[in-house]
Amino acid sequence: MRETASKHGDVRLAALALSAQLSSKGHFDDIVESIDKMVGDLKAEYEEDLKTKTQCETDRMVNTKIAKQNAQGMDDETARVARKQAEIDEKTKEVEDIVAHVKDLKLQMEEARVQRTKEENEYAAAKTMDEQAAQLVQKSMDVLAKFYEDEGLALVQKRATVEQPPEMTAAGEAPPPPPSTFSQPYGGNKAGSNGIQSIMGMIKDDIEKDIRTATQRGGQGCG
């Protein structure tokens, strides 16, 4: 018993061996009772250990299953996070493209505004010059018309009726009188003066037409 107790390091068995050594010869009733009690305790401990082992194995299986489920869940969440990150990257790229496009549009709008302002200034300057030119032509026409009127150059020339050529006179008779001349002094070239007025009038009409055309185009451009 001492050897067994020493081999297995069992304190209870060592105590039992010591008790048997100290007991009187032939009196093993207490020892047998102690052994029975020890066996019962060992059996109870075994059953408790077996129960604990079974519970541990069950718990381990449950924990293993939970761990697998958690691992699968983590993998799924990792994949979902990766997908979401890819979507975020894609949307971020789209936003950057939109921002760049808006910036480019703003630049184009600014360039168009500058160009439009330049064209409007050029149009205003050209229109002013055309209007001044039209006014100048009109003033020139008025001055020329007044000049012709004051100088009497606008009078209609009158030409006397030319008589029929005389008949042949007989020898020794007096020749017929010479043909009649203009009854009024020369009053200038009315057709020439009217021609200048007409030309200046056409020039004025062309200028005004250009102003109307430029105004219409300007209004279409503003629309």
pLDDT of the residue at 171: 47
pLDDT band at 206 (very low <50, low <70, confident <90, very high): confident
Least confident of 9-18, 22-31, 64-73, 207-216: 22-31
> 186 pLDDT exceeds 80?
no
Is the pLDDT assigned to residue 54 strictly greater than 60? yes
The owner of tokens 């480019």 is: 104
Q: Concatenate the DSSP letters of all residues of 128-195 into one string.
A: HHHHHHHHHHHHHHHHHHHHHHHHTTTSPP--PPPPPPPPPPPTTSPPPPPPP--SS-----HHHHHH
* Rounded distance between C-alpha atoms, residue 22 and residue 86, angstroms: 84
Count of structural domains, the chain:
1
**CA 223 to mean position of chain CA atoms:** 22
Domain-embedded: residue 19: yes
d(CA 122, CA 110): 18
Q: What range defines the domain where residue 29 resides?
A: 2-83
On the question of pLDDT at 93 being above 90, the answer is yes
Residue linked to tokens 């064209």: 119
pTM for the structure as a whole: 0.38
Is the pLDDT confidence value at 179 over 70?
A: no
With CA atoms as reference, report the closest residue to 212 among 133, 130, 116, 117.
Answer: 130
Q: pLDDT for 155-175, tens place per residue?
A: 433 333 334 444 444 444 544
Q: Is 16 exposed, middle or buried (0-12, 13-18, 19+ CB in 10 A)?
A: buried
Gap between the Cα atoms of 81 and 85, Å rounded: 6
For the segment 33-59, the average pLDDT, to the nearest whole number, is 84
Is 28 a domain residue? yes
In a domain? residue 141: no
Q: Are 17 and 2 in contact (CB under 8 A)?
A: yes
Q: Is residue 25 part of a domain?
A: yes
Instruction: Give a yes or no: residue 91 inside a domain.
Output: no
Q: Is the pLDDT of residue 75 over 90?
A: yes
Has residue 44 been placed in a domain? Answer: yes
Would you say residue 167 lies in a domain? no
Residue 13 lies in a domain: yes
Q: Which of 17-21, 109-113, 137-141 has the lowest mean pLDDT?
A: 17-21
Residue with the bigger pLDDT between 222 and 197: it is 197
CA distances from 77 to 27, 60, 70 (A): 74, 25, 10
* Most distant CA atoms of the chain, gap in Å: 223
- Count of H-run helices and E-run strands, the chain: 4, 0
Residue 176: per-residue pLDDT: 52
